[in-house]
Amino acid sequence: MVVDLQIHSPTLKRRVKTEFVGIDGNRNLIFRFPDESKWAGLGGAIYMNNSMIVRCILEDETGEIVAFKVKITIVITKPSKLVFTSFPESIQSHGLRAEQRAQTRIAAMIIDTQERSHIVPCLVRDISNQGCMISIGRDAKGVRPAIDQELELLIPNSQGDDISLSGYVRNKKEDDTRQYFGIQFCAEENDVAKLLSQLLINNDVP
C-alpha cells in the first residue's frame, strides 16, 4: 500500500511517498525507507524517536483518507532499508466521496459500446446514482476495459430482463486475485435511480 509520510526535523520538513510493508506482531508498523534518489537528505529527518505523520487512502468501499501520528523506533539498512514505528495512539479519517454508495455483489456483463460486443463478465461491488465499482477476476476470460473507455453494463433484474447502465472507466487498481474499475455513469441521476430501484437496492446508505 502506498502511503504519504510527513516528516520534519530542525533542518528538514517534507512530504514523501513510500510503501507500507506490514506489521511486526503487536509492536511495530513497518514502512519502506523512501527512495533517496527522489528525496535526498531524508536521513536527517527519519531517525529513532522522531515523529512522523502517515496518510493513506483506503481504496475500497469506504473511500476514506486515514491519517495518524507515529514515533520512529528504529531504522534498519539490511537486508533492506526499513523504518519501524510505534502503533498510532489515535487515527483520524475523512470520507472522500460526496455520495455514499450501496454495497453490492451483482453479476454483470461488460459491453463495448462501440463494437456492441460482450467483452468480459464482472461483479458490481458498489453503486450510486453517479457511478459504481466493478471487479473482474484475474482468471476471467475476456478483454479488460481501458481508462476513459465508454462501456455498458448489463445487469439482470428480478424480472429476468437486463438493465443497461452506460458509463466511462475513470480509474483502475488491482490486487492478487482481482482487478477493480471505477465507472462514472453517463445517464442522468434520475434515470439511474429508476434503474437502481428495479434492482431492489436501497441506495440510501446511512
User: Which tens digits make up the pLDDT trace of 52-78?
Assistant: 999 887 755 455 678 889 999 999 998
- pLDDT value for 206: 36
205 pLDDT tier (thresholds 50, 70, 90): very low
Nearest C-alpha neighbor of 31 from the set 102, 71, 85: 85
Please, what is the average pLDDT of the chain?
81
In the prediction, which pLDDT does 200 show? 45
CA dihedral 200, 165, 154, 159 (to 10 degrees): 30
d(C-alpha 193, C-alpha 203), whole Å: 8
SS3 82: strand
| Residue from 94, 183, 15, 164 nearest 7 by CA | 15
Tell the residue number behind the cell numbers 520534519, with chain if given.
8
Residue 10: cis peptide before it, omega within 30 degrees of 0: no
What's the pLDDT band for 193 if we cut at 50, 70, 90?
Answer: low
Q: What is the pLDDT of residue 134?
A: 93
CA 169 to chain centroid: 15
**Per-range mean pLDDT, top range of 80-89, 119-128, 161-170, 186-195:** 80-89
pLDDT confidence of residue 26: 79
Tell me the whole-structure pTM to 2 decimals: 0.50
- Using one digit for the tens of pLDDT, what is the confidence trace for 78-94? 889 999 999 987 787 65
At residue 89, φ and ψ (nearest 5 deg) are -80, -30
CA gap 67, 76 in Å, rounded:
24
CA angle 17, 126, 120 (to 5 degrees): 90
